Structure 1
Amino acid sequence: MSGGSEWSAGFWDCCSPCGTCFLGCCCACCLHGRTSSRLKDPSLKNDSMMNGSCCVYFLVGWCGFHFIPLMMKRGQIREKFGLEGSGCGDCMRACCCPCCTLMQNEKEVESRAGLLQSSAGYQAPGGMEYKK
């Protein structure tokens, strides 16, 4: 999809915020897990960085194929939010600079957390009160 909207953060804008940058450089599987959690629960009420996505990223990365879950997550984010890019571009970014890919994925999902919360599905209305 080449005509989609732009990403909220540039690909090379990976040094801020410091905490996310540190996590992406030192414990990439945890950042990947947090991004996956944020896609499912934007408020991160049940935040668990150590989830299935984290484990898959760690195991696949340990074998040298870290780019596969990164590429897939990036494609999922692009499709969900109608962002510009392509599968080939996702693969190239994930192979060449996994840290920047992790950061851009997390920043995008974090910036769109409000949109994800509003599309979370049915939410029960407040209690009804009868006038006396």
Structure 2
Amino acid sequence: MSGPVTIQPGHKLLPFTADWKNELFASCSPIQEGVIYCLCGPCCAGRLHQRTGENYFGCLVPGTTQALRAKIRMAYGIKGTLIGDCLASCCGPCSLLQMKKELDAQGVPNPFNN
């Protein structure tokens, strides 16, 4: 007869070693994209939410864009913290563009490109 199981199965956390493909403040290039994200931030955020499988209107709820940033960071093993995700929202357009460019670099389809 065997003894009781004393170690439960669990999740193994992988180390986050990757960097963002674009720096936060270097993301506003080309300038046309930077202007669009500055003037139409909520619409651009909604598109990012929808592109990652979230609800388009989720961007209207406070904190969801920071949560989306954390989701993208965790999905691709990017170094960072939740506090850093929140602080990145101090420059919302830069943060949104950085997330968009990360999704582009990772090959996530963009249904909004014509």
Normalising by structure 2, report the TM-score: 0.70
Alpha-carbon distance between aligned partners in 1 of 2:15 and 2:26, rounded to the nearest angstrom: 21
Alpha-carbon distance between aligned partners in 2 of 1:19 and 1:111, rounded to the nearest angstrom: 19
Instruction: Name the counterpart of 1:127.
Output: none
Alpha-carbon distance between aligned partners in 2 of 1:3 and 1:56, rounded to the nearest angstrom: 26
CA deviations on 1:18-59 (whole Å, 9 max, x unpaired) are 34212210111221122233334xxxxxxxxxx833x232x3
Question: Is 1:81 aligned to 2:76, yes or no?
Answer: yes
Structure 2: unaligned runs, 5 residues or longer: 1-13, 110-114
- Identity rate, percent: 28
Query: CA distance change for structure 1 residues 79 and 2 in 2, over 3 Å: closer, same or farther?
Result: same
Alpha-carbon distance between aligned partners in 1 of 2:81 and 2:101, rounded to the nearest angstrom: 19
8 Å CA contact 1:12–1:100 kept in 2: the answer is: yes
Structure 1: unaligned runs, 5 residues or longer: 41-50, 118-132
Normalising by structure 1, report the TM-score: 0.62
Instruction: Report the count of equivalent residues.
Output: 96
Tell me which of 12, 15, 18 is aligned to 2:25: 12
Q: CA RMSD in A?
A: 2.3
8 Å CA contact 2:37–2:93 kept in 1: the answer is: yes
Residue 69 (structure 1) shift:
1.6
Question: Is 1:102 aligned to 2:96, yes or no?
Answer: yes
